[in-house]
């Protein structure tokens, strides 16, 4: 369940992690297609890149966070649930059991689990950077461009679905934070059965999420929302070429190091 | 000229509750209509029929002479709706994006969209906040942003559902002034509220709803004396015997 240190911070905290943060940094100025392609290429490279590549990508990401004025520490704090999940994965991949169920740790397993978690973390951080520095409308426009050549896929419908999800996820997180606050203000912690707490929370969350989704659909319909709305005009610039060159150099380190 | 014409409109919720019964109402171009009623009287449900967000059980709703059911998109272009909860209406990542949303849906040219957004934001005094995140605006600013989002679509009618709910005094005063300016600029205005005090002096017509029916319809001066019976508090000045007085000084 969500635990927010200060009441009322939940909504803004949720939007800070998931949502777009207005700005004029280099990453903000990059073409959304460039950002999406780079995230795909670098994410794939993360799965086979060695320490040298992962280290370089980590440094680049830290630099990107600083340039975009998105606090690295704050991002870690706000994605702490994912970090807990990573810790869980680390433990699961580190421990093996003998035939007599005795847990065994080996340095190789620890090393392998650490690299696996490092890779996942880098991919998630790239996603956070993409969403934080790209407007939803631009993500949609880039998807329409990218999916156009794919046969049997209506690129506008697909892009609309992604756009709606991007809009709905922060709303759901806001709802979760508000429900959690409301339940804690009525001393839900004093209930002994965690399952009962969780079931009440989940039922409320789904009910409110569906209601909010209905409201959102209604307000969008009132403003004539449709699949064939005007798409933002996208334009590659020199900075995109530079970004591709840097990404190319990074991928080369993954291939040849 | 009739801009909205409703004939014998009935609506029922999926659980069977009759929310609107036999509503007939005509709104003329340039009117400022105040629809008042207690909670659950059917005000918001009625508004949602103006632009086809709900389908009637029976009866017809015409906007600019065209039945809403035949062409809901045309109705939505002509009737801009500002919802009670401004947060649920905000869909853009920035103030600029949010105001763009309507014109982009209507597939205007990019230059036209830019012009509309700038004009709409200037009209609600948010021109300097284009690149701000809407979620960081104050309650009053969010309400004005919701109005700008609708204004950018240049509708003939502006429908505002409880526009002063959850606003403090300065924000209420600003939104009230914006509504007054919109009416002076030639927009037809429909406002729903259960708190008549703030807006009654601007309206030229007061429609009272009770349990899904229109029970009074006339000039505010004629109707205001009877609203107490329908769960609506008359303005203080009326209670003190001073007639209808402006809320803003």
Establish if A219 touches chain B: CB-CB under 8 angstroms.
yes
Task: State the pLDDT at residue A18.
Answer: 63
CA B96 vs. chain centroid, Å, equals 22
* Predicted confidence (pLDDT) at residue B119 exceeds the cutoff of 90: yes
| Cβ–Cβ below 8 Å for A221 and B81 | no
Mean pLDDT of A123-144: 90
| Cβ–Cβ below 8 Å for A21 and B105 | no
* Predicted confidence (pLDDT) at residue A23 exceeds the cutoff of 60: yes
The residue with greater pLDDT, B93 or A240, is A240
Closest CA–CA distance from residue B102 to any residue of chain A (Å): 5
Task: State the pLDDT at residue B246.
Answer: 87
Number of separate helices (H) and strands (E) present in chain B? 9, 10
* Predicted confidence (pLDDT) at residue A120 exceeds the cutoff of 80: yes
Establish if B211 touches chain A: CB-CB under 8 angstroms.
no
- Of the listed ranges A116-120, A185-189, B1-5, the least confidently predicted one is A185-189
| Cβ–Cβ below 8 Å for B108 and A233 | no
Task: State the pLDDT at residue B249.
Answer: 72
* Predicted confidence (pLDDT) at residue B231 exceeds the cutoff of 80: yes
Instruction: Tell me whether residue A124 is exposed, middle or buried, using C-beta atoms within 10 angstroms of its C-beta: 0 to 12, 13 to 18, 19 or more.
Output: middle
* Residues A141 and A231 sit within 8 Å (Cβ to Cβ): yes
pLDDT tens per residue, range A196-233: 888 888 888 888 888 888 888 888 889 988 878 888 88
The residue with greater pLDDT, B12 or A73, is B12
For residues A161 and A127, give the distance between their C-alpha atoms in angstroms, rounded to a whole number. 18
- pLDDT more than 70, % of chain B: 100
Residues ≥6 apart with Cβ < 8 Å to A79: A17, A124, A128
Mean pLDDT of A187-195: 78
Task: State the pLDDT at residue A15.
Answer: 53
pLDDT tens per residue, range A149-177: 888 888 888 887 877 777 777 777 777 87
Which band of pLDDT confidence, cut at 50, 70 and 90, is reported for residue A16? low
Separation of first and last alpha carbons in chain B? 33
DSSP string, chain A: ----SSTTHHHHHHHHHHS-----SHHHHS-HHHHHHHHHHHHHHHHH--HHHHHHHHHHHHHHHHHTT--HHHHHHHTHHHHHHHHHHHHHHH-EE-TT--EE--HHHHHHHHHHHHHHHHHHHHHHHHHHHS-HHHHHHHHHHHHTTSTT--HHHHHHHHHHHHHHHHHHHHHHHHHHHHHHHTTGGG-S-HHHHHHHHHHHHHHHHHHHHHHHHHHHHHTT--TTPPPPP----HHHHHHHHHHHHHHHHHHH-
Cα separations in angstroms, B78 against A221, A222, B119, B194 = 13, 11, 18, 25
Establish if A172 touches chain B: CB-CB under 8 angstroms.
no
- pLDDT more than 90, % of chain A: 32
Which band of pLDDT confidence, cut at 50, 70 and 90, is reported for residue A17? low
For residues B207 and B36, give the distance between their C-alpha atoms in angstroms, rounded to a whole number. 6
Which residue is it, tokens 């635990």?
Answer: A3
Q: Which of A222, A228, A230, A235 to mutate to test the interface with B (most CBs of B within 10 A)?
A: A222
On chain A, the residues whose CB falls within 8 A of the CB of B93 are 19-20, 22, 135-137
* Predicted confidence (pLDDT) at residue A7 exceeds the cutoff of 80: no
Give the range with max mean pLDDT: A79-83, A185-189, B94-98. Answer: B94-98
CA angle, B229 then B231 then B233, to 5°: 95
Pairing status of strand B188-193 against strand B157-161:
parallel
Q: What dihedral angle (degrees, nearest 10) is formed by the CA atoms of A64, A69, A70, A73? A: 90
Task: State the pLDDT at residue A9.
Answer: 46
By C-alpha distance, which of B219, B247, B186, B242 is closest to B29? Answer: B186
* Residues A240 and A31 sit within 8 Å (Cβ to Cβ): yes
In chain B, the residue whose alpha carbon lies closest to the alpha carbon of A160 is: B105
Say what the pTM is.
Answer: 0.80
In chain B, the residue whose alpha carbon lies closest to the alpha carbon of A15 is: B135
The region that residue A98 occupies, defined by phi over 0 for left and psi between -120 and 50 for alpha, beta otherwise, is beta
The residue with greater pLDDT, B99 or A184, is B99
Mean pLDDT of A236-241: 92
**DSSP label of B166:** T
* Residues B46 and B35 sit within 8 Å (Cβ to Cβ): yes
Closest CA–CA distance from residue A223 to any residue of chain B (Å): 5
- Of the listed ranges A91-100, A181-190, A194-203, B132-141, the least confidently predicted one is A181-190
**DSSP label of B224:** G
For residues B82 and B94, give the distance between their C-alpha atoms in angstroms, rounded to a whole number. 18
Give the relative orientation of helices B95-105 and A136-147 as an angle to the nearest 10 degrees.
50
Pairing status of strand B188-193 against strand B66-67:
unpaired
| Cβ–Cβ below 8 Å for B153 and A233 | no
For residues A27 and A32, give the distance between their C-alpha atoms in angstroms, rounded to a whole number. 9
pLDDT tens per residue, range B124-169: 989 899 988 888 899 889 999 999 999 999 999 999 999 998 888 8
Helix (H, G, I), strand (E, B), or coil: what is residue B6? strand
Which band of pLDDT confidence, cut at 50, 70 and 90, is reported for residue B15? confident
- The backbone torsions φ and ψ at residue B116, rounded to the nearest 5 degrees and listed phi first, read -65, -40
| Cβ–Cβ below 8 Å for A229 and B105 | yes
* Predicted confidence (pLDDT) at residue A247 exceeds the cutoff of 60: yes
**DSSP label of B199:** T
Q: Token pair of B20, please?
A: 């609107």
CA B117 vs. chain centroid, Å, equals 20
| Cβ–Cβ below 8 Å for A22 and B104 | no
pLDDT tens per residue, range A40-86: 999 999 988 889 999 999 999 999 999 998 888 888 887 787 888 99
In chain A, the residue whose alpha carbon lies closest to the alpha carbon of B146 is: A219
* Residues A179 and A201 sit within 8 Å (Cβ to Cβ): yes
DSSP string, B119-148: HHHHHTT-GGGTTS-GGGS-HHHHHHHHHH
Mean per-residue pLDDT over chain A, rounded: 84
Mean pLDDT of A104-130: 91
């Amino acid at each position: 369940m969500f635990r927010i240190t200060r009441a009322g911070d939940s909504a803004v905290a949720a939007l800070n992690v998931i949502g777009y943060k207005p700005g004029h940094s280099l990453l903000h100025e990059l073409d959304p297609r460039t950002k999406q392609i780079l995230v795909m290429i670098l994410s794939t490279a993360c799965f086979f890149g060695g320490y040298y590549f992962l280290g370089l990508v980590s440094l680049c990401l830290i630099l990107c966070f600083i340039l975009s004025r998105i606090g690295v520490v704050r991002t870690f704090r706000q994605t702490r649930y994912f970090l807990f999940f990573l810790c869980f994965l680390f433990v699961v991949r580190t421990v093996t059991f003998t035939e007599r169920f005795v847990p065994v740790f080996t340095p190789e397993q620890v090393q392998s689990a650490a690299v696996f978690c490092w890779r996942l973390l880098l991919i998630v951080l790239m996603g956070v950077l993409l969403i934080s520095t790209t407007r939803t409308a631009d993500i949609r426009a880039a998807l329409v461009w990218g999916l156009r050549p794919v046969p049997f896929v209506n690129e506008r419908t697909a892009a609309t679905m992604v756009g709606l999800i991007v809009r709905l996820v922060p709303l759901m997180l806001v709802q979760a934070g508000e429900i959690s606050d409301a339940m804690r203000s009525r001393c839900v912690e004093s209930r002994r059965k965690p399952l009962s707490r969780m079931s009440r929370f989940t039922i409320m969350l789904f009910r409110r999420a569906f209601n909010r989704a209905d409201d959102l659909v209604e307000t969008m319909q009132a403003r004539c929302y449709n699949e064939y709305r005007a798409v933002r005009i996208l334009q590659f610039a020199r900075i995109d070429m530079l970004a591709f060159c840097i990404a190319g150099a990074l991928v080369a380190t993954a291939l040849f190091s | 000229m009739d801009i909205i014409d409703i004939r014998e409109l009935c609506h029922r919720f999926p659980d069977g509750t009759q929310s609107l019964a036999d509503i007939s109402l005509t709104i003329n171009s340039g009117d400022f209509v105040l629809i008042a009623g207690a909670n659950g009287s059917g005000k918001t449900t009625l508004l949602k029929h103006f632009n086809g967000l709900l389908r009637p059980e029976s009866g017809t709703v015409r906007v600019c002479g065209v039945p809403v059911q035949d062409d809901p998109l045309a109705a939505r272009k002509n009737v801009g709706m500002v919802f009670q909860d401004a947060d649920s209406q905000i869909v853009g990542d920035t103030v600029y994006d949010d105001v763009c949303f309507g014109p982009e849906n209507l597939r205007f040219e990019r230059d036209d969209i830019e012009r509309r957004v700038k004009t709409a934001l200037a009209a609600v005094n948010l021109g300097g906040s284009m690149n701000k995140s809407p979620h960081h605006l104050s309650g009053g600013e969010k309400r004005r942003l919701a109005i700008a989002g609708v204004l950018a679509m240049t509708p003939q009618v502006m429908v505002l559902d409880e526009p002063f709910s959850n606003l403090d005094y300065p924000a209420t005063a600003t939104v009230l002034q914006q509504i007054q300016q919109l009416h002076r600029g030639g927009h037809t205005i429909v406002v729903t509220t259960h708190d008549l005090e703030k807006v009654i002096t601007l309206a030229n017509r007061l429609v009272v709803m009770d349990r899904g029916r229109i029970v009074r319809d006339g000039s505010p001066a004629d109707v205001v004396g009877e609203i107490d019976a329908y769960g609506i508090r008359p303005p203080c000045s009326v209670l003190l015997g001073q007639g209808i007085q402006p809320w803003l000084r």
